[in-house]
Chain A
Amino acid sequence: MLFSTFDYFLFLPLVAVGHWMLGGKGARATFLLVTSAVFYAAWNAPDALILAWVATAGFVASHTLGRLPERWRTPLLWLAAGAMLGPLCFYKYAHFGLSNVAVLIPGIEPWVPPKGHLPIGISFYSFQALAYLIDVRRGETPERDPIRYATFLCFFPHLVAGPILRSSTLLAQLGQERHLSRADVGYACWRLGVGLIKKLLVADVLQQGIVDSVFTDPGAFTGLEVLVALYAYTLQIYADFSGYTDFAIGSSRLLGFHIPENFERPYQATSVADYWRRWHKTLSNWVRDYVYYPLGGSRGAGIMPYRNTMITLLILGVWHGANWTFVVYGALHGLAVSLNRWWRKRPGWVEPHGPLALGWRWALTFQFVVTARILFRADDLAQAGTIVDALTSRWEDLSLPRYSFHAWGVLFVGYAVHFTPRAWAELARERFITLPAPVWGVVLAGIGWATIRYGVGDSLAFIYYAF
């Protein structure tokens, strides 16, 4: 079930009340596991078997690791990683990889599995399970309670699109006494309301009003219209994914969990590396800790830091999907980060300061991020080329793009809010929490009414569900 639906707003308070009515950590963890399983099975019940397989493989491997002699631990880690990532590789990468083998190696025609549907959230929970196993290999004590471990992996607020949690974050909280204060509920209502606005009043409106129309048929639009659509898509994907994160954080808080932020006004970044520190932070941290640092990070001489950067960003790109567009997307970002590093490491380089330098760096970074989004949106490289063609043609017509005032308004207001200081939002949230609880309900109902009145009808799937 989608977070941004009436169904979820019935489901969540019921789960929260049920959870808090139970006494004891064990009973609550079991309750959360059952409700998470129900939540996941509501999408497509058979996919829950894959989730169960990954969870079982992770739990068994983490316990076996500590009992084995040192020399067997790394081989077991690889074996378990293979077992846990097997479904991900099969469902997400096998079609792409094997069909390209036939292209790259003439004479070989491997069996290529059909491009079927992707079990929802598989990239998120597979990476999370793998990270846990690596942490255990590095010396962390494995969780002994299978219920608690399974709840850590399947916890419904973050199950299908993150944030990607570390065992030190969620597993530790599952083992502690948690409490629910009035302020927690207020905080949760705020995040749920913000999530509704971002998803239904910004992301979906931009998608229906501008983005989908243009990218379905880019050749039918002027260059200016395609450019505006690209900016709209850039805002849409932020509102969509960060809206999802707002739901995840708000829902978790209602159950007494504090989970990490995933975004920090990413389009305010002043370098591409800074962008990745603000966009999908939990994934960036994951690849930093489990790929970039093990490769050597920024240490080493010569090209080593650049090589590490390129590999890390390529993995970040390919994580989003098995498609050449994501390979090129990752490579472009890797090149940008490497170029920036090379520039700043030149002998005698002094980092300029002041608003002009900052503005220039921001503008360059933002335009790069927007342009690279073409690869994020296109289904393949040929379509990306079509979009670029459309973007660079028909500039003789500069008449006002044919979008509704509603969509225009959302675009302008959305960007305006994004570029406000973060402290403003925090101040508004703090004031909201001090309001009486019934007022929170009135606000939530008001936002719900606005989504019906000014939204696009049925809520659309979150973009990151596809990853």
Chain B
Amino acid sequence: MPSETSGLRAIFAAFGTAGLLVAPAIAAAVASAGTDEPSDDESAWIATVAASSPWQDGDPFPLLSQLVPNLTPSARVIEDERTGLVVANDAIEPARPIEPPMTVDAAAAPTTPPDPKAPPPLPARAPMVPTPLVDPDHRGMAPFYAALARGTGLARAAQWGDSTIAADGITGTVRTRLQQRFGYGGPGWIDAGLDPQWSFRPGLDTHRVGEWETKSILLGGGNGRYGFGGVVSTAPDGGYLTVRAPAGADGTPRPLQHLELWLQAGAGHGSWWLSADGASAGEGSASAETRDDRRHVVELPGGFTKAAFGATGGPVPFYGVVLETSGPGVVWDALGVVGVGTRSFNYFAEGHLAAQVGQRAPELVVLMLGGNELGIPVLAKGDGMKYAPFYKAALRRLRAGAPAAGCLVVTPLDQGTREGGRPGTKPALSRLVGVQRQIAADEGCAFWDAFAAMGGEGSVVAWSRKKPPLAWADLLHLSAAGQDLVGQALADAIEAGFDDWRTTRVMP
């Protein structure tokens, strides 16, 4: 025993000291439990110390819960999603549905018959919570629904947003779903840059030649002119981009009939050219004394499957191309720029964006923004309504170009953070959702709560643990499968809204 004495003393000294240092943090965690926001300096100090605690109130009781797993209600054995191993007693709350689906007990059910005019329930897509559009009297969506019901031409929707939209996962699914029902309208707007940093278009075969320079509304630098999609890409002399039409079910490209090229004229610019299936579809000079936007439209009733455009004789800034069918059908433009927020729209020169939107003439303007703004001070406390002017300004800039178009506000997806030692939803998100819901009501827009549809608080953490994962481990972005799920749910809501509009509207 004597030989162990020095070792035992060292154990007590080392681990005892560590314990003494950790104990105040644990005590602070216990003291600050249940207080969401510090009310004075002292409680703020306690909260700061508590954040350093290895154990937080609500976690399973340290050590004892490991040895007696049922000791605390929140302790439960979980399996690692990737390996199938039992890895830990998890302390993370499961996703909490905002509005859990109602179950009806037949015996206890009211005797009143169901309302035959009530819209049918939305399809269940676990782990999503069926979430309809909030759109009283269909005032936000009516112009788009009318275009869908028209049966001729194209019904166009344009959805602006950040990386969630730039990946074209959600928009791609909505586009596919609506095109399956209402007709194939083609891929629609495609940013000229197609730079992976700014936008993806999965399923679209593109090839870019030359050193293109891209500017976007994320960092500016484009003299206020970023085109319809918020991205301007300058092709060098000899640079060009080819785009092949997406393939249909048989694997061959589906022919398109409508081609547009959007570009910028200005001093020192070269000439542009456009081709369809190798044949010239137009050319012209992009040189002008003052900056100006140009749009070249070509109708090709015989159809084409490959378009190309480029610059000769000098650089030419391009905004994008439009590839569409002659209809009837639907086009759902994906206009996402990675990293942007509402204030990024201030980079647009006065009148430029409105003119661009006016030329594209969508029947529906969709805005899904705010995911990159959860850390701004105005959302840190209170009801967050000081954020409202930023969002309204962006929405109004977009709607100014298409005042007759419908309007849909989509909230950001759930976003997680690991601050404080436990993954959970960013605190500002619920405030942001509340603000956007209010703005949608004020501005006459339809509203879709993507956050609630995912399952609300903590859902992205649960999604990241699905197998295969529905969300990336950064707890900010969804995987392709997760985006598809959200897209399906949004399409469900739009289709259900359309069906309800069709049955309840007053026929002329």
B86 at interface, CB cutoff 8 A: yes
Bound complex: CA of A174 vs CA of B209, how far in Å?
Answer: 70
Q: A420 to chain B: which residues have CB within 8 Å?
A: none
B468 at interface, CB cutoff 8 A: yes
Minimum C-beta distance from A33 to chain B (A) = 16
Among candidates A1, A10, A212, A437, residue contacting B9 with C-beta atoms closer than 8 Å: A437
Within 8 A of B (CB), among A1-60: 1-2, 5-7, 9-11, 13, 16-17, 20-21, 23, 38, 42-44, 47
Q: A2-B88, A117-B85 are in contact. Are A23 and B14 (CB under 8 A)?
A: no
Minimum C-beta distance from A288 to chain B (A) = 27
Contact B473 A438 (CB under 8 A): no
With an 8 Å Cβ cutoff, the count of chain B residues facing the other chain is 66
Within 8 A of A (CB), among B411-453: 418-423
Contact B17 A452 (CB under 8 A): no
Bound complex: CA of A386 vs CA of B87, how far in Å?
Answer: 28
Contact A118 B84 (CB under 8 A): yes
Q: A182 to chain B: which residues have CB within 8 Å?
A: 6-7, 9-10
Q: A449 to chain B: which residues have CB within 8 Å?
A: 52
The winner among A1, A379, A394, A452 for most chain B CB atoms within 10 A is A452
Bound complex: CA of A209 vs CA of B82, how far in Å?
Answer: 17
Q: Which residue of B has the minimal Cβ distance to A10? A: B63
Minimum C-beta distance from A69 to chain B (A) = 43
Q: A10-B62, A116-B84, A441-B21 are in contact. Are A397 and B423 (CB under 8 A)?
A: no
Contact A179 B4 (CB under 8 A): yes
Contact A180 B52 (CB under 8 A): no
Minimum C-beta distance from A224 to chain B (A) = 10
Q: Which of A99-107, A292-300, A303-311, A457-465 has 4 or more CB atoms under 8 Å from chain B? A: A457-465
Q: Which residue of A has the minimal Cβ distance to B475? A: A208
Q: B118 to chain A: which residues have CB within 8 Å?
A: none
Contact B63 A7 (CB under 8 A): yes
Q: B422 to chain A: which residues have CB within 8 Å?
A: 457-458
Within 8 A of B (CB), among A210-247: 211-213, 216-217, 219-222
B196 at interface, CB cutoff 8 A: yes
Q: B8 to chain A: which residues have CB within 8 Å?
A: 17, 20-21, 180
Q: B92 to chain A: which residues have CB within 8 Å?
A: 458
A186 at interface, CB cutoff 8 A: yes
Contact B66 A117 (CB under 8 A): no
A169 at interface, CB cutoff 8 A: no
Contact A466 B6 (CB under 8 A): no
A115 at interface, CB cutoff 8 A: yes
B98 at interface, CB cutoff 8 A: no
Per-residue interface assignment for chain B, residues 373 to 414, with 1 indicating a CB less than 8 Å from any chain A CB and 0 otherwise: 000000000000000000000000000000000000000000
Contact B3 A117 (CB under 8 A): no
18 residue pairs A–B, Cβ–Cβ below 8 Å: A2-B87, A7-B63, A9-B15, A10-B63, A42-B89, A118-B84, A180-B11, A185-B11, A216-B472, A397-B196, A402-B338, A441-B19, A442-B21, A445-B17, A445-B22, A452-B54, A457-B419, A458-B88
Leading 6 A-B pairs by shortest Cβ distance: A441-B17, A180-B7, A212-B473, A457-B418, A437-B13, A185-B10
**12 extra A-B contacts, CB within 8 A, seeds A21-B8, A397-B195, A461-B87:** A9-B18, A120-B85, A208-B418, A208-B474, A222-B197, A399-B197, A440-B17, A441-B13, A453-B52, A457-B423, A458-B421, A466-B85
